[in-house]
A and B are shown apart, each in its own frame.
Chain A
Amino acid sequence: MSTTDKAPAEAPNEDEAARAQLSTAPVEDSPAAPVGIGVIGWARWFWRQLTSMRVALILLFLLSLGSIPGSLIPQTQVDAMKVAEWKKTHEFWVPVAEKLQLFDVYSSVWFSAIYILLFVSLIGCIVPRTWQFVGQLTGRPPGAPRRLDRLPAYTTWRTDKAPEEVLASAKGLLGGRRFRTEASAGAVAAEKGYLREAGNLAFHIALIVMLVAFACGQLFKSEGGKLVLRGKGFSNTLTQYDDFKSGSLFSADDLTPFSFTLDKFDASYEKAGPQKGTARDFKAYVTYSEGAEGAPKKAEIEVNKPLEIDGSKIYLLGHGYAPVISVTDPTGKVVYRDAVPMLPFDGNLSSSGAVKVPDGYRNKNGDKEQLGFNAMFVPTFAGAGKGTMLSQFPDLNFPVLALSAYHGSLGVDAGLPQNVYQLNTSKMQEFKDPEGQLFKQRLLPGETMTLPDGAGTVKFEGIERWATFSVTHQPASGLALAGAVIAIGGLAASLFVQRRRIWVRAVRGADGVTVVEMAGLGRSESAKLPEELSALSAALYETAPSPARSAPADAGTTTEEEGERA
């Protein structure tokens, strides 16, 4: 261990006074054991522990350690699907992880405890510091200690000028350099760099502002996703969303009224090279109107450029294809025609989905039945016999739709919510091909497949595009930004500004010549302090030079030895 904590053996009290209130940083004292009796004694002891630097430091360190698990284990609020996946592969750990709230680290009891304690400790620290600082601002710099040569930077010389004159010009000089000065008998005290303290306090207060803003944002936020087909519209009401998440204090009335229609969607991809197929540009062209009946306006939404309508932001998240499919019954009547969005599952937009025909279909016997098709769509097919049904490129170069057909009950009438992209075949029968296998067929746009036994036809009429949008509303983000800006400014001030004191003393010596002494003291040992003192003393020396007969420093009373570093 280093020996940095040794106190100077004989520090005179006035040195302490000179150092006093150079900062409002907490004084390091290890809080004594509980004093007094019972609850109050313990409470006081606890409060002193909590607001001590040591404990704040430990809490800060715990905060950094505590946030780590959230990056290693999937989080419900980030990606619920991944959490489910993780639970399947790590069955043994699930009960432990759930007990420890490891799937919701950042809202867990223990994580909240750390940061709440930290912020209480912070408030317990900055409130008294603010008062101290106000006191320092209204007070005056402390008077000069008797032995200026004990201070970290010191200089002295003799001059013919009267002490009063020297002190007056010292006061003018320091004041001109924006020191706060205070003249007393035979000496001038000056102090500068209050911005350090102000910045420090501003930074810590800004942290609290950011926490409050973040908490507000979490409590009142709303976030919904919606898949929109080209040519179709969306209006901002709860029922229109495919999925919707909101903070606990959000109410449905908070939704901004607006609507938009997706006019066109453009996507371009890398056509060659090792990153072939990587998306290069997405753009959604929309027409939107504010309020219930606002005038329609055109806008473009890109990945980094959300559309902002009255505090709500509309983001472009993803896109894909929706084959247009029509189904006829045995009599040739069209019972279904719709664009069916398929969900992409790889970078080249190989997509899967389900076509569900719930109403209107009657089989050969005239009985009501429901039809279902498992669908797989690829925008660029590798070609028959290539052994892969996966897409080779995300653009529509060789679109192919593969369908397998079922009939029976889709299970949608039970009233249970169902995944629209998956077919529940538990109550369905397969259509069979001549070999007795599940009937399936690949279709090109415009092609029609005929279901076995004259059960009807399915036509792949064309391809529509869709885009998914996320509509978010997060209040107080402006407040968070303001907090962040103040935090950075305050941080810079508190780290780059030096708080320091300069004293000048001028006394008429026994021989009638004035002895000038200057000394400087900073909160931290900085190389800048001697430099500044040197510049200041040079300036003062010009107005109060040494008598011609002696060199300036020779008059000094200090024993000086040439240091090795000279």
Chain B
Amino acid sequence: MTLLAAATNESLADLSNKLVYASMAVYMLAFFAHITEWVFGSRSKVGRTAAALTPAAAAAAGAAPAVQVRTKGGGTAVLDRPKVVTRSASGVRDVPDGPGAAGGTEKGDLYGRIAVSLTVLGFLIEAAGVVSRALSVERAPWGNMYEFNLTFSTVAVGAYLLLLALKKNVRWLGLILVTSVLLDLGIATTWLYTASDQLVPALHSYWLWIHVSTAIFCGAVFYIGAAGAVLYLFRDSYESHLEAGKTPGRFRTSVLERMPSAATLDKFSYRINAAVFPLWTFTIVAGAIWAGDAWGRYWGWDPKEVWSFVTWVAYACYLHARATAGWKGRKAAYLALFAFACWIWNYYGVNILLSGKHSYAGV
């Protein structure tokens, strides 16, 4: 009743809309900065991947004793700790990571930094948009698809920025991420827009905070894992091309040359997906507990439940495949993409096309 009395705060809702549009403008600028970064970077001649993988180089490497790459306590080691040398497992291509979109060029790097700064700004504005939306309705901002999309891209960008802040090698993700965030926000504002409003009684529960927030979070981070898997597939075929002694096209070389190595991308995608999988499990369990309270059964094969289950099983498949000979590598990556496709379908497809107990007013 108190919720009802608290009328929607019109001006806050209006502010939220403006902030969302502002963040889209900033992301657009970040997009152009990334494009410029890629263009400048294309002028550098790196060619390290090719050098490491052409048959001649492979023969030379085979003749020489195995190269051991120092990681910790390299050249600048002080005398207080012994150096650790590492060997990568046999059978894995020992290919260095690409230099990133800027290709080692100074100008490219400058634009790359501008793009990241703009992304940070866009993220802050968008996050403010989500918060003001929440304040305007005095509830969790996860009541309809417009709000889901908004939170989804905010979380995806936030996760990317966090990885950057942790000095992880993820700047290669920038352009793809900003592009899909623009797409996501475009869909949200064009087709999914719902004026801020109260919730139907079925959503009056603290489980909304728990279940829906983790669901969105998982989706956003799965998205990053899927992006890694797609790039892995491209980069892997590029590397095998080189290994076979063929010369890939110039554009392909220019772009993929600058990406991290296939092994790095594969590992990245795996770590992201594996880290989120327990949380996705939790999301489904939390949803089941809520369903037990709201609908009288904790599992009833509602379309949303079915697709959450399908997504879960598909990711379980991927995690197992990656540890199974004959499945790891490309096949596992296809499974990861299938799993993410299931997640996306579970969101757009089930919400819009299939009717079930998860259908609420205003999609």
Q: How large is the interface on B (under 10, 10 to 19, 20 to 34, 35 or more residues)?
A: 35 or more
Q: State whether the Cβ of B1 lies closer than 8 Å to any Cβ in chain A.
A: yes
Is B197 touching A273 in the complex (CB atoms < 8 A)? yes
* Given A488-B278, A525-B89, A541:B1 Cβ within 8 A: no
21 A-B pairs in the complex with CB atoms less than 8 angstroms apart: A4-B328, A56-B320, A57-B324, A60-B317, A152-B89, A268-B1, A268-B4, A280-B199, A280-B201, A315-B294, A484-B285, A487-B281, A495-B278, A518-B82, A533-B84, A534-B72, A537-B84, A541-B80, A541-B81, A546-B79, A562-B70
Q: Pick the residue among B82, B85, B299 that contacts A214 (CB under 8 A).
A: B299
- Which of B31-39, B152-160, B219-227, B302-310 is the contact stretch? B302-310
Interface residues as binary, B1-29 with A (CB distance below 8 Å gives 1, 0 otherwise): 10110001000000000000000000000
- How many residues from A make CB contacts under 8 Å with B? 98
Interface string of B274-312 (1 = CB under 8 A from A): 110110011001001110111111111111001101100
Residue of A nearest to B52 (CB): A564
Q: Which residues of B contact A60 (CB under 8 A)?
A: 313, 316-317, 320
Task: Report B-chain residues with C-beta under 8 Å of the C-beta of A36.
Answer: none
Q: Which of B88, B195, B278, B335 is close to A492, meaning CB atoms less than 8 Å apart?
A: B278
Interface residues of B in 173-197 (CB under 8 A from A): 195, 197
Q: Looking at the assembled complex, report how far the CB atom of B313 sits from the nearest CB atom of chain A, in whole angstroms.
A: 4
Indicate whether A415 reaches chain B with its CB closer than 8 angstroms: no
Q: A156 on the interface (CB 8 Å rule)?
A: yes
Contacts of B201 in A (CB 8 A): 279-282, 302-304
A64's partner among B96, B267, B342 (CB-CB below 8 A) is: B342
Nearest-CB residue, chain A, relative to B270: A524
Add 18 more A-B contacts to A67-B313, A71-B350 (CB < 8 A): A2-B93, A25-B323, A54-B324, A67-B306, A152-B87, A223-B296, A270-B198, A275-B198, A279-B200, A280-B4, A281-B4, A304-B202, A304-B207, A487-B285, A559-B65, A562-B70, A565-B69, A565-B97
B84 and A566 within 8 A (CB)? no
Q: Which chain A residues lie closer than 8 Å to B295 at the CB level?
A: 315
B84→A67 contact, CB < 8 A: no
Closest to A487 in B: B281
Closest 5 CB pairs of A and B: A563-B69, A538-B81, A64-B313, A71-B306, A8-B90
- Give every chain A residue within 8 A of B63 (Cβ-Cβ): none
In the docked arrangement, what's the CA distance between A243 and B71, Å?
Answer: 69
Contacting pair B288 A28 (CB below 8 A): no
Nearest chain A CB to B337 CB, angstrom units: 14
Q: In this complex, what residue of A is CB-closest to B361? A: A278
User: From residue A226, how far is it (CB to closest CB) to chain B in Å?
Assistant: 13
A298 within 8 A of B: no
- How many cross-chain pairs have Cβ atoms below 8 Å apart between A and B? 255
Contact B89 A530 (CB under 8 A): no
Q: Evaluate contact between A306 and B296: CB separation under 8 angstroms.
A: yes
B198 to chain A, nearest CB (A): 6
A446 CA / B197 CA spacing, docked (Å):
37
Would A156 and B75 be within 8 Å (CB), given that A56-B320, A72-B354, A223-B297 are in contact? no
Q: In the complex the two chains form, is A553's CB within 8 Å of B325's CB?
A: no
Instruction: Verify if A184 is at the interface (C-beta below 8 Å from B).
Output: no
Q: Are B88 and A553 in contact (CB under 8 A)?
A: no
The listed residue (A53, A304, A551) touching B205 by CB distance below 8 A is A304
Q: Which residues of A contact B290 (CB under 8 A)?
A: 304
Contact present for A155 and B309 (CB under 8 Å): no
Of the candidates A3, A156, A477, A541, the one whose C-beta lies within 8 Å of that of B298 is A477
Query: How far is A11 from B93 in the complex, measured between Cα atoms in Å?
Result: 18
Set of chain A residues within 8 Å of B249, measured between Cβ atoms: none
Q: Flag if A566 contacts B74 (CB, 8 Å).
A: yes
Q: Which residues on the A side are within 8 Å of B68 (C-beta)?
A: 558-561, 563
Nearest opposing residue in chain A for B88, CB measure: A525
Taking a contact as CB atoms closer than 8 A, the residue among A70, A275, A558 that contacts B361 in the complex is A275
Q: Does A429 contact B (CB under 8 A)?
A: no
- Cβ of B97: which chain A residues have Cβ within 8 Å of it? 565
CB distance B86 to A152 under 8 Å?
yes
Q: Are A54 and B326 in contact (CB under 8 A)?
A: yes
Most buried by A among B90, B267, B277, B328: B90
A155-B83 contact, Cβ under 8 Å, with A54-B324, A57-B317: yes
A105 to B300, CA, bound (A): 12
CA distance A528 to B71 in the complex (A): 11
Given contacts A5-B325, A551-B79, contact A530 B86 (CB under 8 A): yes
A278 touching B72, Cβ below 8 Å:
no
Chain A contact surface mostly: mixed
Whose C-beta in chain B lies nearest to the C-beta of A25?
A: B323
Whether, in the assembled complex, A531 has its beta carbon less than 8 Å from a beta carbon of chain B, the answer is yes
* Interface: A355 (CB within 8 A): no
Which residues from chain A contact B47 at a C-beta distance below 8 Å? none
Nearest B-chain residue to A305, judged by Cβ: B293
CB-CB under 8 A from A551, the residues of chain B are: 79
Question: Does B126 make an interface contact (CB < 8 A)?
Answer: no
In the complex, chain B residues whose CB is within 8 Å of the CB of A282: 201
B345, chain A: closest CB distance, angstroms: 10
Whether B91 pairs with A3 at a CB distance below 8 angstroms is: yes
Q: Is B245 an interface residue (CB 8 A)?
A: no
Q: For A71, list chain B residues within 8 Å (CB).
A: 301, 303, 306-307, 310, 350, 354
- Taking a contact as CB atoms closer than 8 A, the residue among B75, B197, B240, B329 that contacts A274 in the complex is B197
- Please name the residue on chain A nearest to B76 by beta carbon: A566
Q: Does A32 contact B (CB under 8 A)?
A: no
B325 to chain A, nearest CB (A): 4
Q: Which residues of chain B are near A538, meaning CB under 8 Å?
A: 80-82
| Beta-carbon contact of A156 and B325 below 8 Å | no
A565, B301: Cβ atoms closer than 8 Å? no
Let me know if B166 is at the binding interface, CB within 8 A. no
Given contacts A4-B91, A280-B198, contact A68 B317 (CB under 8 A): no
Selected contact of B85 from candidates A64, A78, A153, CB within 8 Å: A153
Which residues of chain B have C-beta atoms less than 8 A from A178's C-beta? Answer: none
Q: Contact check, B329 vs A1: say whether CB atoms are below 8 A apart.
A: yes
For the complex, give the distance between the alpha carbons of A157 and B301 in Å: 62
Find out whether the CB atom of B84 lies under 8 angstroms from the CB atom of A530. yes
Bound: A303/B90 CA distance, A = 59
* Chain B hits for A87, CB < 8 A: none
B57 close to chain A: CB less than 8 A = no
User: Is A442 at the interface (CB under 8 A from chain B)?
Assistant: no
A276, closest chain B residue (CB) = B197
Which residues of A are found within 8 Å of B342, using beta-carbon distances? 64
A343 CA / B84 CA spacing, docked (Å): 76
Whether B93 and A3, one on each chain, are in contact in the complex, defined by CB atoms closer than 8 angstroms, is yes
